Amino acid sequence: MKVYKTQDIRNVAILGHGGCGKTSLVEAMAHVTGVTTRQGRIEDGNTISDYDKEEIRRKFSISTSVVPIEWKFWKINLLDTPGYLDFAGEVDEALAAADGAIIVINGKAGVEAGTEKAWAYCEKYGIPRVFFVTNMDDEHADYMKVVDQLRDLYGKRIAPFHLPIREDHKFTGVVNVVTLKGRRFTGGGKWEERDVPDDVQDDLEPCREALMEAVAETSEEYMERYFDGGEFTVDEIIDALRVNVNEGSVVPVQCGSGTLAYGIEGLIETCVEFLPSPIRDNIKIFGKDPRTDKEYNVDYDSRRPFSAYVFKTIVDPFIGRYSLIKVCSGELKSDSVIYNYEKETEEKLSRIYVLRGKEAIEMPELKAGDIGAIAKLSNTSTGDTLSLKADPLVFEKFEVESPYTYMRYEAENKGDEDKVSQALQKMMEEDLTLRAFNDKENRQSLLYGMGDQHLDVVVSKLEAKYKVKINLSKPRVPYRETIRKKVSVREKYKKQSGGHGQYGDVAMEFEPSGDLETPYVFAERVVGGAVPKNYFPAVEKGIQDSVLKGPMAGYPVVGVKATLFDGSYHPVDSSEMAFKTAARQAFKSAFMQANPVILEPIVSLSVIVPDSYTGDIMGDLNKKRGRVLGMNPTEGGKTEVIADIPLSELYGYSTNLRSMTGGRGSYAYSFSRYEQAPSDVQEKVIADNAKAE
């Protein structure tokens, strides 16, 4: 592969709903441009981008993969992203490197939740986009229905650049609305010119008129010519539409078939003609000199000192470790010395690569704006900046969505805990939306992900790649225990076993402290030396140990004030251990007399859904003992529902929400406070704890 200049590079993310045909489209684009001699199929497990064993087995994309293709004078770095919401972090990584996007729509299924999510991603990152309606060879595909759905959602920005031609109910070609020329597909990605058929005219005229209006709005000269009834040349139309597409005011719609490679070359032409190179007038790339905090505008300038951004990390026991980078300024050569300011590491490179799926293609250099890979950077993570030690630079890190689905996990084989921990650490370097957390308080290890499917894939990968097995189970909710009334007790610990015995006697008062943030408060008001002062710390240690595991159901105790007010001691047999044990006995005895209760964690929940689903969401939250506090309108015809809800009721909520909203809802929550659990909940918690023991 040759080295390309910045202006000849296109970095294009492939987005869309899960199963809509993204990987098949990438495969067709690779085949048409000569990357492969035979087009791979998902069913056969031989596509370039879905090379992971788990992807081949499940027949859908799990990770973003890069597939560079070359067409005439240009290089297009295709970033094939997963469509399922459980792998949304991969999309964020891809869009951190992309300058344009193709949103793929299945012509039969139409606009789906993933289509809308893809649009929202492009809006978030300010990325120009093109819609490609694929599967047009299906007899039930309806291109104009898809166009109408898009117009209903996004208005006049939607501009069909192509219209399908059907002969004998079969998809055979397209009409280019920009050039007013027809194409008949002849197979293998090839085509021949043909006349525009009469039955397309009804759709062609309004589409053409809308494009001419968009062209006219790019300058006063064009506007005057348009109103005077003048015509525009094809080059003028393309130049004007390029401005509109780059600004996002026009979003082209094209059609074809990924499996038959129909319309693929037209899509590649659109990537080159209308999607931007990394150098864009309306986008500025700022980096900060960490020594001075001064910002610099680097803008993919090859004349500036080298800098690059790590947008993805691959840690694979089979293909090795690669840091995927986008060069933001200067040039990266195979013998370069690079510096990671945040990790304070400098390394001399011996090789740089371009990845095509799992294939690593060695390159002599990469220009600004290009995407490549560096092997074995052990101290470099996703989001890090690479630069020169003499000219250090740091780019702002991109953010991924936080994971809220979590499960308890345990190693299936005892003794594998360290292996599991190390494997998860490597997987978390690859996947920013995967989190492993050791919850010591509740004696459990937790695995956080974007959904049940995400966690299921993690379990499979651990077994397939790292040869360790884990079992997932329902997590233990972090309940608390406390008391509601004041109680006084006296407990004596006395033991005689020959020689020195054990003797400790405490009289203590237990009451609510009013502070549920603090486990306990210890005080004393002993008079007359009934308990010597040197035993006070032992009494407090007994309370400190007792609050770790409450007498009701074994959960941590909070909000208790313990006061030592009397007792007795033996000059020979008393010891710190005896008073500590007596205090523990007093705690247990008093706790069960002091109207003990279970406290449950309450979280503040935010659910964002299309307006039409708000009634269903509120009804469901009420069933889950949630309290709806308000609703706020948000962008795109959506509403944010705010509620307080017990954390225990959110188990499995990711799946429920997707089911209720067709995948169009999202949620987030944060801990708010503890509240007394209803009696039926308390009874169940106590019963479950008794079973566990």
Q: What integer best gives the mean pLDDT of the chain?
A: 92
Average pLDDT over residues 620-633: 95
- pLDDT score at 147: 95
Looking at residues 582-587, what average pLDDT do you find? 96
| pLDDT over 80 at 66, yes or no | yes
Give the span between the Cα atoms of 163 and 514, in whole angstroms: 70
DSSP letter for 318, please: T
At 310, phi and psi to the nearest 5?
A: -85, 110
**How would residue 498 be classed by pLDDT, with cut points 50, 70 and 90?**
low
67 beta partners: 78
Question: How confident is the model at residue 217, as a pLDDT?
Answer: 87
Amino acid at 536: F
**Confidence check: pLDDT of 279 > 90:** no
Ramachandran assignment for 637, one of left (phi > 0), alpha (psi -120 to 50 degrees), beta (any other): left
Residues 6+ apart with CB under 8 A from 414: none
pLDDT of residue 636: 79
Average pLDDT of the segment spanning 433-437? 95
DSSP code per residue over 40-98: --TTTT--SS--SHHHHHHTS--S-EEEEEEETTEEEEEEE---SGGGHHHHHHHHHH-
Whether residue 630 has pLDDT greater than 70: yes
- pLDDT score of 317 more than 90: no
pLDDT given at position 499: 64
Residue for token pair 């084989």: 413
Question: What is the C-alpha separation between 634 and 608, in angstroms, rounded?
Answer: 8
SS3 category, 439: strand
Residues of the chain with CATH 2.40.30.10: 286-386
The yes-or-no verdict on residue 319 having pLDDT over 80 is no
Using a 10 angstrom Cβ sphere, with 0-12 exposed, 13-18 middle and 19 or more buried, the burial of residue 423 is buried
Q: Kindly state the percentage of the chain with pLDDT values over 70.
A: 99
Tell me the per-residue pLDDT of 17-61, one tens digit each, with 9 for 90 and over: 999 999 999 999 999 999 998 898 999 899 998 988 889 899 999
**CATH topology for 405-473?**
Alpha-Beta Plaits (3.30.70)
Distance between CA atoms of residues 648 and 207, nearest Å: 53
Distances in whole angstroms, Cα of residue 377 to Cα of each of 94, 390, 609: 20, 20, 41
Residue with tokens 């199929």: 41
With cut-offs at 50, 70 and 90, classify the pLDDT of residue 456.
Answer: very high
Find the mean pLDDT for residues 560-567: 95
What amino acid is encoded at 357 in this protein? G
Query: Is residue 185 over pLDDT 70?
Result: yes
561 or 214, greater pLDDT: 561
pTM of the predicted protein model: 0.89
| pLDDT of 404 | 92
Pairing of strands 638-646, 520-524: unpaired
CA distance 58 to 55: 5
Region 481-595: CATH code = 3.30.230.10
pLDDT category at 661 given cuts 50, 70, 90 is very high
Q: How far apart are the first and last CA of the chain?
A: 64
Could you tell me where the DSSP H helices lie in 161-233?
201-216, 220-227
The kind and range of the H/E element at 193 are strand 190-194
What is the structure's pLDDT at 378? 81
Confidence of residue 231 (pLDDT cuts 50, 70, 90): confident
Report d(CA 48, CA 383) in Å as an integer: 26
In the chain, what percentage of residues exceed pLDDT 90?
76
- For residue 675, give both structure tokens: 């509240």
Helix, strand, coil % in the chain, rounded to nearest 5: 30, 35, 35
Mean pLDDT of 159-178: 92
Measured CA to CA, the distance from residue 182 to residue 177 in angstroms comes to: 9
Q: What does the pLDDT read at residue 573?
A: 85
Class of domain 286-386: mainly beta
Residue count of the chain: 693
Q: Is the pLDDT of residue 281 over 70?
A: no
Task: Provide mean pLDDT across the span 142-152.
Answer: 94
Neighbouring CB atoms inside 10 A of 611's CB total 13
Bridge partner list, 110: none
The count of C-alpha atoms lying within 13 angstroms of the C-alpha of 302, restricted to the half-sphere facing its C-beta, is 15
What pLDDT is stored for residue 572 in this prediction?
Answer: 80
The predicted structure's pLDDT at residue 168:
86
* Topology, domain 6-200+250-273: Rossmann fold (3.40.50)
Do residues 443 and 548 make contact, with C-beta atoms less than 8 angstroms apart?
Answer: no
CA 1 to chain centre: 32
Residue 111 has pLDDT above 80, yes or no: yes
pLDDT of residue 146: 96
Joined tokens for residue 465: 């790649």
**pLDDT score for 214:** 87
102, pLDDT greater than 90: yes
CATH code reported for the domain at 600-692: 3.30.70.240
Cβ(270)–Cβ(161) under 8 Å? yes
Cα–Cα dist 518/502, whole Å = 32
* Residue limits of CATH 3.30.70.870 in the chain: 405-473
Q: What angle do CA 511, 512, 518 make, to 5 degrees?
A: 120
